Amino acid sequence: MSSTPALLLVGVENQLSKLRNLEVLDLRINNLDSRILSSINGLASLRSLYLSDNYLNSSIHLKDFIGGFANLPLNLTNLEVLDLTFTQLDNSILSSLHGLSSLRSLNLSANNLGGSSHMRVSRRSELWHDDLNLMIPPY
């Protein structure tokens, strides 16, 4: 029964890319793994993305989604809010967030992050983090 939410969303993965004007996507607590990320990458109008309580560090797809921003047209340049709490991520995610130039709120709490890491979020802002909730002030 616990896999039911993921099964219901399997068909949605293929349909997400058609929602070109979608601004808020909340997929919290859906037993999703990182395969959902390729569907989200094409949502150019997306402003808020909530993916907490999913297992996103389960495969190479996470690098395709976030790490690929440096080499792709920045499809999620309007993204302002990104919630990745409880998604099993580690420090490797930090260097991949530089393409999110509009990001104003980033929540990475309850992940496998450690130490004091430097992260370049966009060309206009740099951020140091010591705790796992990051807020990016307006410039």
Domain boundaries, the chain: 4-135
Tokens found for residue 70 = 């440096």
Of residues 69 and 24, the one with the higher pLDDT is 24
Of residues 54 and 128, the one with the higher pLDDT is 54
Check whether domain 4-135 has CATH 3.20.20.150, yes or no: no
Place of tokens 């399997």: 10
Average of per-residue pLDDT values in the chain: 66
Cα angle 72, 55, 19; round to 5:
50
- How far apart CA 3 and CA 7 sit, in angstroms, is 6
Residue from 101, 108, 18 nearest 57 by CA: 108
Of residues 38 and 62, the one with the higher pLDDT is 38
pLDDT digits (tens, 9 = 90+) for 112-125: 776 655 454 444 44
Of residues 122 and 16, the one with the higher pLDDT is 16
- How far apart CA 101 and CA 137 sit, in angstroms, is 13
pTM: 0.67
